[in-house]
Amino acid sequence: MSEKLFIFDTTLRDGEQSPGCSMNLEEKLVMARQLDRLGVDILEAGFPIASQGDFDAVSAISAEVRRPTIAALARANQLDIDRAWAALKDAAKPRIHTFLATSDIHLKYKLRKTREEVLKMIAWAVGHASSLCQDVEFSPEDAGRTDRSYLIECCHAAVEAGATVLNLPDTVGYCLEPEYEMMFADVKANVPGIENVVLSTHTHNDLGLAVANTLAGVRGGARQVECTINGIGERAGNAALEEVVMAVFVRRDVEPVHTDIRTEELYTASQLLTRLTGMQVQRNKAIVGRNAFAHEAGIHQDGYLKNAITYEIISPETVGMPADHIVLGKHSGRHALANRFRELGYELTKPEIERAYELFTRLADRKKNVYDEDLIGIVNEGFEHIPELYTLKLLESVSSSEGRSTATVELERDGQAFRESATAEGPCDAAFRAIDRITGIPGKVVDFSVHSVSAGADSTAEVSVRSRFQDKEFSGKSLSCNVVEAAARAYLQSANKGVYEIRRAVKQAASEAGSVHENELVDRLLPGGY
Ligand code: KIV
Ligand code: ZN
């Protein structure tokens, strides 16, 4: 029977304090609710002495989130500990987490204290925290670079003073797996009273080893792991919660532990954090990246379609990822292509598949990934390319930091010019709305990114847009030195695809209904005379 591994989430503390990840009170509460749904055992809600915002967040989360233990961080001094305790006062299950550096490097250059002084501080701080709260965690900061016999002395002092959890951080992400595992084994074997204390890992990803070290710590005897959603955290981040949890789950044949995490909530937690912080997850990120379940190579797709277990060790549903995204690329074969068309609602005949495959390979040679809308373009109207229905002739954009932005757009279709203006919060949005007025089919931008193609202030911007028209999504991409113009062109590209596809669907419906002339129906249903 495997033992329980406690999941200590520090997304709202170690994660939130890293650059680009800050959240306001309401956002922290929203994230805390999702962490609760996910089933984390301990939720570190903040560092109350650090700011009023952190104090308020710990207080609010303590008052509302009742199932997990709520932890608050404090340095090893009275002010910090009392402040942490005040913030935790409404928690159903509070924990004070106090820490003090123990490596000689930190003692000499940061604390300017002797080993004896630090030992006394640990005993006093843990003792004081224990007089307030039953559950006290102590972290010897930079344990990974601390002299082993001194680390054992520090851990002993903390246990004697009442610590219930001992966390051994690899604060600077320096340890290799065998070293990290051995540190736990040494502490477990040499600290009196350790059998009544939970050992915990806390790893940073500076060498890309955070998750591997976490698992090594578990092998060494840790039964609590500290981690963050998407691995956010100081510098290169902390161990990614979703990766640790899924490693333990998938390799339950060899791992001695299990967690109580609801794995199907992982993707939602990852997406929510991305939305709240704006910190994007890399596409190939394990477990929650957009490509994590995408199969491109033809041989992989073929195997996957015959039986998913050939190339998939986790099903997307296990982590709550909606549908699978098969990205087609130049290595994809006819089988995968025909299958994707079928899923998109196109049952192609053999000759049609041959023709589609020819067009697809031509496209895939120029384009790395071929998405659904490209495939729709291939099959539309006898495999014709989607024409540029509207072309951008003019864009005037006025924006100010003081108010709304205005855009005037002129588009041309079949030699005829159409001009419209719109206002919105930002200049790109204003341009999109003006385009919508002309096409008559409003789109919703679901993804928008800007990349600089070259270096320097005059670099070219590449804007990628994904927009939803009715219930389908289409992408567009454009380059310009003017970001608003690139955005307008990219959006127009997606709108051209959307309008084209909607027109096709309406035509098809008309011809199936038979009673109305198809062009008449198109005119009636699609505004803007399209
Ligand atoms: O990395 C670290 O050492 C920490 C401690 C405060 C636990 O975050
Ligand atoms: Zn840390």
- The two beta strands, 472-480 and 461-469, are antiparallel
Alpha carbon nearest to ligand 1 atom 7, residue: 139
Among the atoms of ligand 1, which is closest to the Cα of residue 234? 1
Q: How confident is the model at residue 65 (pLDDT cuts 50, 70, 90)?
A: very high
Angle between helices 483-513 and 372-383 (to 10 degrees): 50
The stretch 207-226 carries a mean pLDDT of 98
**pLDDT for res 387:** 56
Summarised one tens digit per residue, pLDDT across range 493-526 is: 889 888 877 877 777 777 777 655 655 655 555 5
In terms of Cα–Cα distance, which of 196, 200, 207 is closest to 174? Answer: 207
> Which residue bears the tokens 């951080």?
169
Q: Which of 209-218, 286-295, 320-329, 478-487 has the highest mean pLDDT?
A: 209-218
**pLDDT for res 383:** 47
**pLDDT for res 277:** 78
Report CA-CA distances (Å) from 206 to 44, 171, 234, 235, 492: 22, 9, 9, 7, 42
**pLDDT for res 302:** 80
Alpha carbon nearest to ligand 1 atom 4, residue: 171
285-288, Cβ contacts within 8 angstroms, sequence gap of 24 or more:
285/230, 285/240, 286/240, 286/242, 286/243, 286/246, 287/240, 287/242, 287/243, 287/246, 287/314, 287/319, 288/230, 288/242, 288/319, 288/321
**pLDDT for res 272:** 87
Mean pLDDT score across all residues of the chain:
88
The residue with greater pLDDT, 7 or 473, is: 7
Which residues contact residue 371 at a Cβ distance below 8 angstroms, ignoring those fewer than 6 apart?
A: 327, 328, 475
Q: Which ligand is nearest to the CA of 170?
A: 1
Alpha carbon nearest to ligand 1 atom 1, residue: 171
Contact 198, 165 (CB under 8 A): yes
Q: Quote the ligand 2 centre to 202 CA distance (angstroms).
A: 6
The residue with greater pLDDT, 398 or 297, is: 398
The length of the chain is: 530
Residue 355 CB burial class (10 angstroms; 0-12, 13-18, ≥19): middle
